[in-house]
Amino acid sequence: MLEIDEKEKIFHPGMTVVDLGAAPGSWSQIARKRLTNPDGTFCGRVIAMDILPMEPIEGVDFLQGDFREQEVADALDALLEGGKADVVISDMAPNLSGVAMVDAGASLLLNELALEFAEKNLKPEGVFVTKVFQGSGYSQFVESCKRVFKTVKQRKPEASRDTSPEMYVVGRGLKPAKKNA
């Protein structure tokens, strides 16, 4: 995430960031640090969400539960005070079965859920970052992102092994919602 932020300039003090699949908290810690002013004052809001528990991080609000559940959605809305996020980041991962095709499908489903969440919860100029694994359905997911965002970039960090299918998709600026005819 640090390398992606260096290239994409995602985080700035004053932003509201929602971290999906936050446990154990490394991406939330990065967001928290990036929302800190040069004088050391924290300026912004980081909301971490996960179905798993997470150790508290100073300055980070944590919601445990499935973001698709109404109770969790209501708690998020209360934290956002009816507003929207500047950034949605997602490092959600399924419990792995060891069967590559099953795991790839489960991972892709989580990416699609994160994209839906971002579309509903981002400000119009917002940024969406998600970790995706190349494989079956990857190009279709990127195309789905292109239907939602004005610009979509695919990034493979230098820290990621060449043989790793790990990629990051960065979407910026929501496209206006199409009206039904």
- Catalytic machinery residues: 131
The residue whose two tokens read 């809305």 is 77
User: Any idea what the Cα angle at residue 91 is, between residues 40 and 160, rounded to 5°?
Assistant: 90
Dihedral of the alpha carbons of 107, 111, 113, 114, in degrees to the nearest 10: 130
Cβ contacts of 68 within 8 Å, gap of 6 or more = 113
Q: Could you tell me if 114 and 88 are in contact, meaning their C-beta atoms sit under 8 angstroms apart?
A: yes
